[in-house]
Amino acid sequence: MKTLIRACFLSLFFLMSGAFAADLTTAKSQGWIGEQNDGYLGVVKGNAPADVKALVADVNRQRKSQFAQIAAKNGITEAEAAKVFAREAATRTAAGNYIQNPAGAWVKK
């Protein structure tokens, strides 16, 4: 079952990366956004442009939907599915981009 969950998360990760590759990559590399410790994207800098904030909201809507599907398939909660994804996303985040540590602080990877 863990292999199935991991496969689902890897698929979700690549789906999300491909869907917004240029915008996400740019926004992350400029330090506007990062991977939160709860599986969602977060705005690192409060003065991020409106289109970046809209991108975060859109990606998070899609992630929430995917977490719900993965949770239902695997008999876990959405929060548990999101936490597994958060660990995977943090591992795959490029050096120099932001991730949220367990205490909720933004740190550069």
**Residues 54-82: tens digit of each pLDDT:** 999 999 999 999 999 999 999 999 999 99
pLDDT of 3 reads: 63
CA quadruple 103, 30, 43, 39: dihedral positive or negative? Answer: negative
Torsional class of 39: left (φ above 0), alpha (ψ -120 to 50), beta (otherwise): left
Candidates 72, 99, 70, 82; CA nearest to 40 is: 82
Contact 44, 33 (CB under 8 A): yes
For residue 99, the cross-strand partners are: 35, 107
Contact 71, 80 (CB under 8 A): yes
Sequence ranges of the domains in the chain: 2-108
Question: Model confidence at 20, in pLDDT bands (50, 70, 90)?
Answer: very low
* β-strand pairing of 98-100 with 33-35: parallel
- Tell me the whole-structure pTM to 2 decimals: 0.79
Task: Scan for tokens 């550069």, then name that residue.
Answer: 108
